[in-house]
Amino acid sequence: MWGMKIFSLLSVATLALGCLCQAASEAANSARAAAQQYGAAVRNCDMRWAVDSMYPPLRRTYADRLTTNTREAEIARARRVQGLDRETKVQAKARMAANDKALRARYARMGEEMKKRGMQVESYSVGEATAEYLVTPPMAAVSQMRRDTSGRLRAENIGNTQERSRIVVLPTTLVISVPGENGTRTRMERRSYIFAVRDEIITDKSQPRGTELNKWYFIDGNTDVNTLRSFFPNLPLYLNLPVSGDRILR
C-alpha cells in the first residue's frame, strides 16, 4: 500500500553523487543506532512508529493520498493546486492535521490486524549501512540552476549548493511467525532495507519541510525510488541496495 509493505525496515550509506564509502561513517553509525531504537515497536507490531518516524514530506504525501481517494476529494485537491480554491493558513493547517490523523489511524489498524491474525515478530535487527548519499532538495537545486548565468546546468553547481540532506541505506532482517494448520506455526525470515534521511543544512525557509535538523527519519525500502527522487532529484540513478527477499525457516 503506497509502496510500503507491512514489515520492511531500514537501509544505509554511500556518498554524495554516487560515491561509495569504504567504511561506516559517523552518520552511518548514527543512522543505524536511531533505527535500532524502533526494535521494540516492531516486535510489538506497533505500526504507528512507521508513521511517527517517517520523513515528514513523504508522510504528508501519503496522508494526502489517503484522504483524496474519492473523485470529489481529488477534484477539490486539484482546484487547490491550480489556485482556483484558496485556503487560509488556518484552514490548510487544519486539513493537513486531519489528514495526518487519518494516516496514523490507518497504520494503527494495520498493527492491530496483524495481532488478531496471530502474527508474532520473533526478532528484528538492523545491519551496517551499505550506502550513504549527500543530496539536495528540489527547491535548492532549482535555485542553484537559476544562479547559473551561463544558462547551463553544471554538476558542480548542484554539488556546491548550501542545502544538504543525507540518505543512508540500512539492511534489516525480520523473523516472524504466523499460525498454520493443525496448531503449528510457520516461521519466515524477511530481509529488506530502509532509507534513513536527515536534513543537515536548510537555508530556504520558503518551503517548510517539517523536519528537525540532523534528526533521522525513515522511509521504507519498498517505497518507489522515483518517489524518493521527487524529494531529492540528484539522487544517483543506481543505488547500492542490499539483497532483499523472504524465506521459510524450518
* Digit-coded pLDDT (tens) for 139-156: 544 444 444 444 444 444
Burial of 241 (0-12, 13-18, 19+ CB in 10 A): middle
Q: What value does the mean pLDDT take over residues 29-57?
A: 90
pLDDT of residue 138: 67
Domain contains 127: yes
Mean pLDDT score of the chain: 78
Task: Report how far residue 21's alpha carbon sits from residue 129's, in angstroms, rounded to the nearest whole number.
Answer: 10
Query: Phi first, then psi: what are they for 237, rounded to 5°?
Result: -65, -40
Q: Which of 40, 12, 39 is nearest to 192 (CA)?
A: 12
Domain contains 155: yes
Domain contains 195: yes
Task: Report how far residue 158's alpha carbon sits from residue 17's, in angstroms, rounded to the nearest whole number.
Answer: 10
Beta-carbon count within 10 A of 131 CB: 25
- Cell readout for 4 is 510500503
Q: What is the pTM of this model?
A: 0.75
Domain contains 59: no
User: By three-state DSSP, how is residue 100 classified?
Assistant: helix
The pLDDT of residue 12 is above 80: no
Domain contains 65: no
Domain contains 204: yes
Q: Provide, rounded to the nearest whole percent, the portion of the chain with pLDDT above 70.
A: 73
Half-sphere exposure of 35 (CA within 13 A, CB side): 32
Q: What's the structural domain count of the chain?
A: 1
Cα R_g (the chain), whole angstroms: 20
pLDDT of residue 196: 96
Q: Which domain holds residue 193?
A: 26-53+114-249
Q: What value does the mean pLDDT take over residues 192-204?
A: 90
Query: Phi first, then psi: what are they for 199, rounded to 5°?
Result: -90, 125
